[in-house]
Amino acid sequence: MPRAHRYTQIQRAVRQHGAAPYRFQQILEAVFRRGVLQFSAMQALPGRLRQALAQQFGDHLLSLAPAQVSRAAQAEKYLFTLNDGRRIEAVAMRYRAGWRSYCLSTQAGCGFGCRFCATAAMRLQRNLSADEICDQALYFRALGQPLDSISFMGMGEALANPNLLTALECLTDPALFALSPRRLTVSTIGLVPAMRQLTQAQPQVNLTFSLHSPFNEQRSQLIPLNRKYPIEEVFDALDEHIARTHRKVYIAYLLLEGVNDSRQHAAALAALLQARGRQTRLFHVNLLRHNANDFAAERFARPSEAHIRQFRNWLEQAGLKVTVRSSFGDEIQAACGQLHASVPEVRMS
């Protein structure tokens, strides 16, 4: 069963130590308004309470430590070390309009074996706790960076980690991060029971389904989970999600040269979405460029830009809403499918 996040535990500890309730509010003010992440530096608290909380939780609130950062024109990849020595990566992206977006991890490694993904080569090491998930966001916030949007598209299958729901509660809590759920996006390769759970628990959070092929046989080769939850079952859950939330669903489609980028694939994808009837208008296709890496189980190539435009045109001619997503950080192995936490640990200065 998922544990409560640390702020619930801190509130309980403040009460147990006999402190007034407003002391907990002072802690939240320090953390989320001033970026103070050490109990010993929270000068508004009595010294005895600071010492007691530091002894119970550790002085520093972050459950991860930055080990290295790689920078590109519009992306920064952060390597974090967890308290048990395992490593994860998160990516901060800057759009030219000034918007800042963050791609966070939910697992150390991943156990689903997608053939194109570098993280899959790590295999699953463990789920992150809710605090470890949220602390990636807290780290960026403490740097003074606005959390304009967050996507759970980093390392791991987000919906395979039951702690994700606790993390989402923390991120959307008005007393804590106070983020709108509409600024949060959860990506999944089609874990159907957890999709339904997310729909019930967080109906306003954006949902992205990574499809990558409209044909079950081929998709099972690319994404082995498809053998357990084939395309039809996933779309049943997506239909239920839209019926309940009346919100847009995003279909991620990774274009692999000579594999899933034919006109036949475009026609089958269009037919799959058109079969949703009136709900078709609430499906939006995001076309992704493949990003090469040295760790994936198979080597694939990226189609030419001209062919990517052609594939988009085929879908648009069928009446679908389509965006070719920008790819940030390819040169530092920070783009979709490239995260591997394989950089040797070097302390940031």
User: Please, is 263 exposed, middle or buried when counting C-beta atoms within 10 Å of its C-beta (0-12, 13-18, 19+)?
Assistant: exposed
Residue type present at position 116: F
Q: What is the DSSP letter of 43?
A: T
What is the number of other CB atoms lying within 10 angstroms of the CB of residue 36? Answer: 18
- Span between the terminal Cα atoms of the chain, in Å: 38
Residue type present at position 55: Q
Residue 177 and residue 31 in contact, taking contact as beta carbons nearer than 8 Å: no
Is 157 assigned a catalytic role?
A: no
Q: Look up residue 345 and give its two tokens.
A: 């640990």
C-alpha 70/C-alpha 86 separation (Å) is 19
C-alpha 168/C-alpha 161 separation (Å) is 12
Task: Classify the C-alpha dihedral 334-337-340-344 as positive or negative.
Answer: negative
Show the DSSP H helices in 46-119 as ranges.
Answer: 47-57
Phi, psi of 209 (to 5 degrees): -110, 125
Q: Catalytic residue among 103, 117, 134, 336, which? A: 336
Residue 208 and residue 238 in contact, taking contact as beta carbons nearer than 8 Å: no
* Neighbouring residues of 214: CB distance < 8 A, sequence distance ≥ 6: 231, 265, 268, 269, 271, 272
Angle, alpha carbons 333-334-340 (nearest 5°)? 70
Q: Catalytic residue among 89, 132, 157, 169, which? A: 89
| CA-wise closest residue to 113 among 156, 71, 75, 154 | 156
Is 114 assigned a catalytic role?
A: no
Residue type present at position 182: R
Phi, psi of 259 (to 5 degrees): -110, -55
The size of the chain, in residues, is 349
For the annotated catalytic residues, the residue numbers are: 89, 336
